[in-house]
Each structure stands twice: as C-alpha cells, then as structure tokens.
Amino acid sequence: MGIYDSSLGSWVRQNRVNRGEREGVSSDDKDRLLELDRENARLRMEWPASPSATWIEAWYNRRRLSSVLGYLSPIEWENHYRHSTETLAA
C-alpha cells in the first residue's frame, strides 16, 4: 500500500478523536486554531498602523503615571534619571 504503519496509526487515532471515542483535539478544532493563528498574525501586522496604536504609543504611554517609576510618566522618569546620572558623572 506504500503507507507507513506510524502514519496509518496516526490517522486511526485522529479518526477516533474526531468521532469522540478518544480524548484529544479534533480535526475541525485544529483547523479552527490554525485559522485563528493566521488571523492573529494578520492583526498583529496591522496593529502598529492603526489609529489606536498610534494614540497609545504617541500620547498615552508617554504620559501615563507608572507605579514602577515612582508615579512619574516615562518621560519624567527618563529626564530625572538622565539628570541624576549627569550629576554623578560631573
């Protein structure tokens, strides 16, 4: 027949999963996951060009206060850090 035993065994196991006789991910679910992965990749590529991404990067992320940065905006923290390192270097 020209088919390896391992291939035939895989097909039989997958058929049992598809029919609900064995636990696992069905072929339909695998196809849906692949479709969602492709859509996710497409959306990730579109995200940087979206108006929302532009607003978040250009305005919100630069001005929001961060508890990690001592409740300073990232720009304020960078200015403070730069000033303190310049003072130490002098």
Position 78 pLDDT exceeds 80: yes
Helical (H) or strand (E) element with 12: helix 5-18
pTM of the model: 0.46
Looking at the structure of the chain, the number of domains it has is 2
Residue type at 46? E
Quote helix, strand, coil % in the chain, to nearest 5.
75, 0, 20
- The percent of residues in the chain predicted with pLDDT above 90, rounded, is 37
Do 79 and 45 share a domain, yes or no?
Answer: no
Average pLDDT of span 12-37: 94
User: Does 44 share its domain with 67?
Assistant: no
Residue 90's domain comprises 55-90
Query: Is 86 a residue whose pLDDT tops 90?
Result: no
User: Is residue 19 domain-shared with residue 35, that is, in the same domain?
Assistant: yes
Residues 21 and 64 placed together within one structural domain of the fold: no
Q: Bigger pLDDT: 83 or 46? A: 83
Residues of the chain with pLDDT > 70, as a percent, come to 98
Mean pLDDT for the stretch of residues 69-83: 87
